[in-house]
Structure 1
């Protein structure tokens, strides 16, 4: 009797262990499939009161967190993403940092070669980038050189004028490379409506009111988001990864619109749950006149 009970318990243990291993394997497969999926193209319109009369709308493509260096982001997949962006015909493309995976310098220059498909982007207003925390932790010089070779202009705490807007690239807050004062001085010297972009969205509370738009990445929209629990990874290097308020999507606040993309790659961990890869197509234009309720004379 005792032997039979022990055998039965052993079989139960094996069954539970097998079910657990099967669940982990299935979860990993789903997560990898999600990370490899075609990034969602999200669209929105940002209306600005300060938009000049008779100025045409400007369409901006926002991409972030390409993270070359693992099986999720190979040159072939990046090339297909570039083709999708070109098909949307944006006027300007902004790349909001984290071009590679890892935290060490070794091997970064080799991995950065996989950024070559970015040379296929051809918006009439240009392609601009800021660096992310992983870029600074690895080899910022090698990454910037590859971006320049691909025709991408890096704006680290710098600005450039394009028509009605001035594009302001702010350095990454998470790795301590942001200089808002310098960025704003460069923007103010050029005039136009300041449209800022950066890697980590946590700069938002410190931006001057004269920056009505901010685009960012970094968060991966949580990357692995468990039901009822939320994002699993919330800290890195003993620091909070991001303010949960700016985890994902469009955030409208008085005087400012913040848009945070989930990114097209997946970082070191090649999986995603409840946070699919995406990029944004944003149209900036004048605010439509409000309908008047005042009766007119006839």
Structure 2
């Protein structure tokens, strides 16, 4: 099973216009994923004003092609602005939004856990919904910081949020590390593939860049992950966006 992971689209940013989003959608379709996971932060900003109009620019997502479906969770910026407008635009694009919920697709169960950074995650409810469906649970969320609190049977977690630091200075590391007086994320989960005794967490750098249309030493990306039975590992391909 091939899973495409995208996050942090951030429409409204000067460099994330519908034309660029369409080109990324085309690249994802060329990889022929079975399932597409969209890990939150679809819009920029922290204000309700203007979000409904910006969310309309998510329309190119309707062209995503995945026989198992396209699924999404919301991110902190979605919750801080106009979550209903974001949900509406995603539904119009044929994207199924999971909010602390799960859905079965063949042998696996997709578990969508809402965003921890904005205080909307409910791991217990998500786990209960997944348990009722059976199957192998594959979890995704926006902020990766909930990884240590995940149930033992959820051994794969996909996330975004970090932008891989977005502006990463040599030696110093990420320049922006706090938002609203809080650390944005645990640096352990800053970027890429994190292997722990009971779990593999994959954190994409995202395809957008928040309100600041600039990245340094942190290229935008999306991931294509192939899961297969009877293998000790999966195949990972990090795609530059």
| Bin for the TM-score computed over the shorter chain | over 0.9
- For residues 51-103 of structure 1, the C-alpha deviation after alignment (integer angstroms, 9 at most, x for no partner) is xxxxxxx1000000000002110000000000000000000000000000000
1:206 maps to 2:145: no
1:123 to 66, 78, 92: 66
Q: Which one of the candidate residues 43, 53, 58 is aligned to 1:110?
A: 53
Deviations 1:199-252 (A, max 9, x none): 000000110101010000000000000001000000000010000000000011
The answer to whether 1:277 aligns with 2:220 is: yes
CA distance in 1, matches of 2:164, 2:14: 20
Partner in structure 2 of residue 250 of structure 1: 193
- State whether structure 2 residue 19 is matched by structure 1 residue 94: no
Q: With structure 2 as the length reference, what TM-score do the two structures score?
A: 0.95
Q: Could you tell me how far 1:255 is from its partner in structure 2?
A: 1.8
Computed over aligned residues only, the root mean square deviation of the Cα atoms, in angstroms, reads 0.7
How many residue pairs align between the two structures?
232
Between Structure 1 and Structure 2, the one with more helix by share is: 1
Please state how far the C-alpha of 1:284 moved relative to its aligned partner.
0.9
Q: Which residue of 1 aligns with 2:135?
A: 192
Structure 1 residue 287, shift from structure 2 partner:
3.4
Distance 2:94 2:146 in 1: 27
Mapping 1:1-298, distance limit 5 Å: 58-288=1-231
Aligned residue for 2:219, secondary structure, equals coil
Listed as ranges, the gaps of 5+ residues in structure 2 are: 233-241
Secondary structure of the 1:218 match is coil
Cα distance in 2 for partners of 1:73, 1:268 equals 10
1:285 Cα offset (Å): 1.2
Separation in structure 2 between the aligned mates of residue 90 and residue 228 of structure 1, nearest angstrom: 37
Unaligned runs of 5+ in 1: 1-57, 290-298
Q: In the TM superposition, what is the alpha-carbon distance from 1:288 to its structure 2 partner?
A: 3.1
Q: TM-score, normalised to structure 1's length?
A: 0.77
Q: Distance in 1 between matches of 2:13 and 2:225?
A: 29
Q: For each residue in 1:178-212, what CA deviation from the matched residue of structure 2 results, as whole angstroms up to 9, or x when unmatched?
A: 00000000000000111000000000011010101
Between the aligned partners of 2:13 and 2:61, the Cα distance in structure 1 is 17
* Structure 1: distance between partners of 2:89 and 2:75: 15
Cross-structure match for 1:15: none
Tell me the distance in 1 between the aligned counterparts of 2:42 and 2:103.
21
